[in-house]
Amino acid sequence: MKRRSFIQKSAAAGSLIGLSGVTMSALSLKAKKHITILHTNDVHSHIEPFDKNDPKFPNQGGVARRMTLIENVRKENPNTLLLDAGDIFQGTPYFNFYGGELEFKLMSMLKYDAATLGNHDFDNGIDGLYAQLPHADFQLLTANYDFSNTLMDGHTKPYNVFVKDGVKIGVFGLGIALDGLVNKRLYKETKYLDPVEIATDITQKLRSSENCDLVICLSHLGYDYKDPDRISDIKLASLTSGIDLIIGGHTHTFLEKPTIVQNKDGQFVLVNQVGWAGVNVGRIDFYLDDANNIESQATVIEV
């Protein structure tokens, strides 16, 4: 895999570098921070590895191996967040027999911090999802599903702010339009709200009121579509501002490396997705510096 670096400078940085020596020298700068994000999407009840004769993914995946991988990364950097972009359910008999109980229990054992909901997470209906909530020891984040007239009311949050080593990481969730994808009898009175509007409002809130240093969107909208009008992660990235990373799902897209998209303000956003069935785990490392250290206004992206 060929690595590329992208360097982004803010408009103001160039003119202020000369100044920083004067203004900053008297202030003590905060220590540098390292935050690791691990992520999965569309695991689809793939609890065991694929068969060794599987034509596509021989002997790949498996929750027991994922646990080892995650533990190793956490040993290396305890300031790690583990996130999932939805479609946890459906795809193997584990779901058909246990309705998602084992999927949620294992994700809790792996200490997932948060997940968003995919369309298949409604496959046993709102009631079926609700019934598994006691097994989920992690946050379910979704900002654009209005559950107020359903059993799920109050059991999800639009976003959560995680604090790791003093760094505030705002994570919010976005789901796909359910109409036409999921039987209405299953999602019932769940209302789908416009993801761009919601993302704009939430990002604003996370940046201004919650003072987040990083903003991550967990999305089940899908990576990219031929239909230019259809909302996707790539489109969301370009239509919003203030998001650092979009972790996607739904389209089961295998990306060799995260895609870099310019947002509404010309800033870089990373969009990533790691296929499906737990055959890969995505890893994004953020190295952060004191925001007052104007010398570090440039961001280097290595992918």
Q: Which of residues 271-300 bind other proteins (CB under 8 A)?
A: 272, 274, 278-292, 294, 296-300
In the complex, minimum distance from the CB of residue 297 to other proteins, in angstroms, rounded to a whole number: 8
Contact between 276 and 264 (Cβ < 8 Å): no
In the complex, minimum distance from the CB of residue 250 to other proteins, in angstroms, rounded to a whole number: 16
| Residue 48 CB partners (closer than 8 Å, separation 6+) | 61, 62, 63, 92
Q: Which two tokens stand for residue 208?
A: 């201004």
Contact residue for other proteins among 126, 216, 258, 261 (CB under 8 A): 258
In the complex, minimum distance from the CB of residue 218 to other proteins, in angstroms, rounded to a whole number: 16
Q: Which two tokens stand for residue 268?
A: 């870089």
Q: Which is nearer to other proteins, 115 or 270 (CB)?
A: 270
In the complex, minimum distance from the CB of residue 81 to other proteins, in angstroms, rounded to a whole number: 14
- Say how many residues touch other proteins, by CB under 8 A: 82
Which stretch, 28-36, 133-141, 218-226, 233-241, contacts other proteins (CB under 8 A)? 28-36
In the complex, minimum distance from the CB of residue 52 to other proteins, in angstroms, rounded to a whole number: 9
Binding mask 201-220 for other proteins (x = CB under 8 A): ----------xxxx------
Distance set, CA 151 to CA 123, 127, 148, 188, 271 (Å): 15, 7, 8, 10, 32
In the complex, minimum distance from the CB of residue 221 to other proteins, in angstroms, rounded to a whole number: 19
Q: Which is nearer to other proteins, 238 or 296 (CB)?
A: 296
* Binding residues for other proteins restricted to 126-165, rule: CB under 8 A: none
Q: Which is nearer to other proteins, 196 or 255 (CB)?
A: 255
In the complex, minimum distance from the CB of residue 94 to other proteins, in angstroms, rounded to a whole number: 7
Bridging pattern class, strands 268-272 and 245-247: parallel
**What are the residues facing 197 on neighbouring strands?**
none
Bridging pattern class, strands 268-272 and 80-84: unpaired
d(CA 26, CA 61): 52
In the complex, minimum distance from the CB of residue 197 to other proteins, in angstroms, rounded to a whole number: 26
Q: How far is CA 20 from the centre of its chain?
A: 34
The DSSP-derived string for 184-195 is HHHHTT-EE--H
Which stretch, 23-31, 138-146, 218-226, 231-239, contacts other proteins (CB under 8 A)? 23-31
3-state secondary structure of 99: coil
Helix 101-109 to helix 125-132 angle, to the nearest 10 degrees? 40
Q: Does 256 participate in binding other proteins (rule CB under 8 A)?
A: yes
> What one-letter code names the amino acid at 166?
G
* Binding residues for other proteins restricted to 36-65, rule: CB under 8 A: 47-49, 59-65
Q: Which is nearer to other proteins, 221 or 284 (CB)?
A: 284
d(CA 299, CA 123): 42
In the complex, minimum distance from the CB of residue 115 to other proteins, in angstroms, rounded to a whole number: 18
Which of 41, 36, 45, 70 is closest to 219 using CA atoms?
Answer: 41
d(CA 277, CA 46): 5
Contact residue for other proteins among 148, 149, 183, 262 (CB under 8 A): 183
Binding mask 63-102 for other proteins (x = CB under 8 A): xxxxxxx-x-x----------------xx-xx-xxx---x
CB atoms within 10 A of CB 101: 16
